Amino acid sequence: MQPAQMYDSAATMFSPDGRIYQVEYAREAVKRGTTAVGLVFDGGAVLLVDKRISSKLIEAAAVEKIFKIDRHIGVASSGLVGDARMLVARARAVAANNRVVYGEKIEINVLVKDLSDIMQAYTQNGGVRPFGAAFLMAGIDPDGTMRLYETDPSGAVVQYKATAIGVGRAAAIEYLENEYRTGFDEAAAINLGLKALYRQSDASAATTAGGEPAVDIATVTAKDGYRLLGQDEVKRYVQASQA
């Protein structure tokens, strides 16, 4: 069998054992990214992202890992920030175009399929590379059903009740599998999400040296739509989860 180096120069080439190395490398970029957790609760969903700052010179407010796509859809990203930003721009444009053309908000399954189709297309064309980013996408269907999807650099999409991506994925999912229950309210879901998010590290990592939250939290509910929690609110949840 030829060595891997013979097959890892293009996303369009399968190895003899059926692997596409460029896609696997893209997944590695996601695995090295900061941890993001998503959970569905009774009436909505919550997205949480670890945004620990590597230097005190960085302006924490400028680090963005959770994005509003539309009034009823939010996403959390992990992996290469530039790749994620490009896909977020695409998602926002598709959602806005749907409102203009059809006069209604886009269904989340339609939007996640569009994004995954783009990601998959970048694994089949020469001269391009796969996106080194993955998303947790939460949104509300027209009938009020809450949906949480995970996208993958290969273009795969899976719907979850609770899941995680990024460097702490394995530890977070193990915790969620043991502790997640249906019927959680918003506060309980956020508390569980914070514990899962920092399952792999000390809980003190949830705050910076200056005492500010090192995590972003957003909720998507039928009542309020997408809402990014303010720092004071996040700080209260972080303190409650450490009690």
The predicted model gives 203-231 an average pLDDT of: 81
pLDDT band at 208 (very low <50, low <70, confident <90, very high): low
The pLDDT of residue 159: 97
The pLDDT of residue 11: 65
Q: Is the pLDDT of residue 2 over 70?
A: no
How many Å apart are CA 77 and CA 65, to the nearest integer? 6
How many Å apart are CA 87 and CA 92, to the nearest integer? 9
Q: Is the pLDDT of residue 203 over 70?
A: no
Rounded-to-10 torsion of CA 116, 80, 202, 49: -50
CB-based contacts of 143, cutoff 8 Å, min separation 6: none
**pTM, full prediction:** 0.90
pLDDT tens for 56-66 read: 777 777 788 99
pLDDT tens for 115-153 read: 999 999 998 887 888 999 999 999 999 888 999 999 999
Burial status of residue 192 (CB atoms within 10 A of its CB: 0-12, 13-18, 19 or more): buried
pLDDT tens for 4-56 read: 566 676 667 787 777 888 888 999 999 999 999 999 999 999 999 998 777 77
The pLDDT of residue 1: 40
pLDDT tens for 75-109 read: 999 999 999 999 999 999 999 999 999 999 999 99
Nearest to 35 by CA among 198, 179, 190: 198
Q: Which tokens in the block code for residue 36?
A: 């993001």
Q: Where do the domains of the chain lie?
A: 35-242
pLDDT band at 155 (very low <50, low <70, confident <90, very high): very high
Active-site residue numbers?
Answer: 34
Supply the mean pLDDT for the chain. 89
**CATH number 3.60.20.10 given to 35-242:** yes
